């Protein structure tokens, strides 16, 4: 039997926690001065794993045309991309798909994948990670301003700490 009192208390705690942070407006989401930048891609953690008890993290990302990471595998996290503006070509274990504004892509943990921004417009997308924790990789990269391929040892060290392995080149 489920303890409804305990369940209601946890829900109440979560809701009150969210209200303590204040309300963000759409205008706030359009501000980019509080993003961090790595290799021309802007990142802003809008829900950290610390704020969700490790359950989830959400990162707002603005990627310029032709950008995208090398092929990689997340060993711990499932990943969802929600495309807000622009478009990306996704590659998931040999299968390609284009996702445009208003569409989402699910990447299961343990699957090799990558993406590339296509077209002339930046691609803004929310990256939802379950469980949370991987958002720390973006913070590490922005803090170190590591370059590819010159700084791959430092990049791989952070990737390993965040349960990710690079497996191949980015999309052409």
pLDDT score for 162: 97
Q: What are phi and psi of 94, to 5 degrees?
A: 90, -10
Q: Are strands 164-168 and 71-74 parallel, antiparallel or unpaired?
A: antiparallel
Is residue 122 helix, strand or coil?
coil
**What confidence tens digit (pLDDT) does each residue in 120-143 have?**
999 999 999 999 999 999 899 989
| CB-CB neighbours of 75 under 10 Å | 12
For the segment 101-125, what is each residue's pLDDT rounded down to a tens digit?
999 999 999 999 999 999 999 999 9
Instruction: List the domains of the chain with CATH numbers.
Output: 34-164 (2.60.120.10)
């Amino acid at each position: 039997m489920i303890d409804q009192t305990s369940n209601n208390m946890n829900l109440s705690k979560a809701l009150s926690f969210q209200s303590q942070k204040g309300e963000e407006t759409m205008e706030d989401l359009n501000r980019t001065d509080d993003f961090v930048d790595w290799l021309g891609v802007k990142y802003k953690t809008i829900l950290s794993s610390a704020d969700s008890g490790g359950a989830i993290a959400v990162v707002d990302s603005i990627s310029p045309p032709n950008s995208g990471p090398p092929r990689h595998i997340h060993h711990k996290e499932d990943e969802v991309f929600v495309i807000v503006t622009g478009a990306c070509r996704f590659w998931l274990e040999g299968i390609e798909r284009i996702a445009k504004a208003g569409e989402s892509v699910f990447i299961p943990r343990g699957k090799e994948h990558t993406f590339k921004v296509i077209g002339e417009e930046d691609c803004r997308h929310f990256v939802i990670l379950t469980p949370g924790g991987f958002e720390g990789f973006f913070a590490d990269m922005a803090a170190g301003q590591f370059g590819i391929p010159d700084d791959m040892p430092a990049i791989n060290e952070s990737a390993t700490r965040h349960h990710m392995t690079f497996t191949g080149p980015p999309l052409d």
